[in-house]
Amino acid sequence: MTDKIRVLVTEDHVIVREGLRAILDSQADIQVIGEATNGLEAIQKNEELKPDIILMDISMPEMNGLEATRQIKLAHPEVKILALTMHEGDEYFFEVLQVGASGYFVKGGSTVELLGALRALAGGDVYISPTMTKKLLSDYLRRAKTGQDKETYTGLTGREKEILKLVAEGKNNQEIAEKLFLSPSTVQTHRANIMAKLGLHSRTELVKYALRHGLITLDP
């Protein structure tokens, strides 16, 4: 018999938390080893219980799931985190990936999808809710059809390509400046030039561009 997937459920709403526990405890290969009601508790319980996966609600009081995920992954990169959210917006999606979560589950999903997500993470895969996958694919196909995806990446200088990759990986201006031995103001100027050349308007669009061109991957 294989070991069970040990899960810490982090959710501030009691009824949702109890429902999640009931679903997971009904599975022969999954064991809920603890519960947390906010990000701070999640950090504490992770230290105490050493779960395989943390089911992490994003919107919680005291400390939200994004910050808790960031701190936990910095201290314990081996822990898998499945973000649980009501949001289907691009901004939340990319933020979740950048802080280190291995999956993004939208609360409107089914029980079968949730269980599949946990098992995917346990097996070392990344999981994205079907609704988000459809949204990202639709956006990509729209851009490809209209020619918007044929940005002039080759028009960037070598330095701009370096900075583009680092920004997409979540590095801030100070971190990039230190890595490339530049001043933060020079990095900011390069970022502005990159956005202008590629016709991008936000960091989210930049990350999506980097994903399309293989500069970064969805691997945590």
SS3 at position 202: coil
Do the domains 151-212 and 5-134 match in fold? no
Torsion of CA 85, 116, 95, 21, to 10 degrees: 40
65-88: b or e for each residue (b if 16 or more CB lie within 10 Å)?
bbbbbbbbbeeeeebbbbbbbebb
Quickly state the pLDDT bin for 220 (edges 50, 70, 90): very low
Query: Domain 151-212 carries which CATH code?
Result: 1.10.10.10
Question: Which of residues 133 and 11 earns the better pLDDT score?
Answer: 11
Across the range 214-219, mean pLDDT stands at 67
Q: Which two tokens stand for residue 21?
A: 């526990």
Quickly state the pLDDT bin for 93 (edges 50, 70, 90): confident
DSSP-assigned letter for residue 215: S
Contacting residues for 220 by C-beta, under 8 A, at least 6 apart: 73, 80, 97, 100, 101, 102, 126
pLDDT value at residue 36: 97
Answering whether pTM is above 0.75, one says no
Instruction: State the chain's mean pLDDT as an integer.
Output: 84
Backbone angles phi, psi at 14, to 5 degrees: -55, -45
Q: Pick the most confident of 87-96, 135-144, 186-195.
A: 186-195
pLDDT value at residue 117: 92
pLDDT value at residue 67: 93
In the numeric block, the tokens 């945590």 are attached to 220
Quickly state the pLDDT bin for 170 (edges 50, 70, 90): confident
* % of the chain residues with pLDDT over 90: 41
Per-residue DSSP letters for 56-120? EESS-SSS-HHHHHHHHHHH-TT-EEEEEES---HHHHHHHHHTT-SEEEETTS-HHHHHHHHHH
Domain boundaries, the chain: 5-134, 151-212
Across the range 27-38, mean pLDDT stands at 96
Task: Centre a 10 Å sphere on the Cβ of residue 134 and count the other Cβ atoms it contains.
Answer: 12
pLDDT value at residue 90: 62
Range name among 37-41, 110-114, 144-148, 185-189 with the lowest pLDDT average: 144-148
Range name among 56-65, 162-171, 205-214 with the lowest pLDDT average: 205-214
Across the range 145-163, mean pLDDT stands at 71
Quickly state the pLDDT bin for 1 (edges 50, 70, 90): very low
The architecture that CATH gives domain 5-134 is: 3-Layer(aba) Sandwich (3.40)
Residue 6 forms beta bridges with which residues? 31
Contacting residues for 71 by C-beta, under 8 A, at least 6 apart: 39, 43
Q: Which residue type, as a one-letter code, is found at position 159?
A: R
Q: Please say whether the beta carbons of 7 and 35 come within 8 A.
A: no
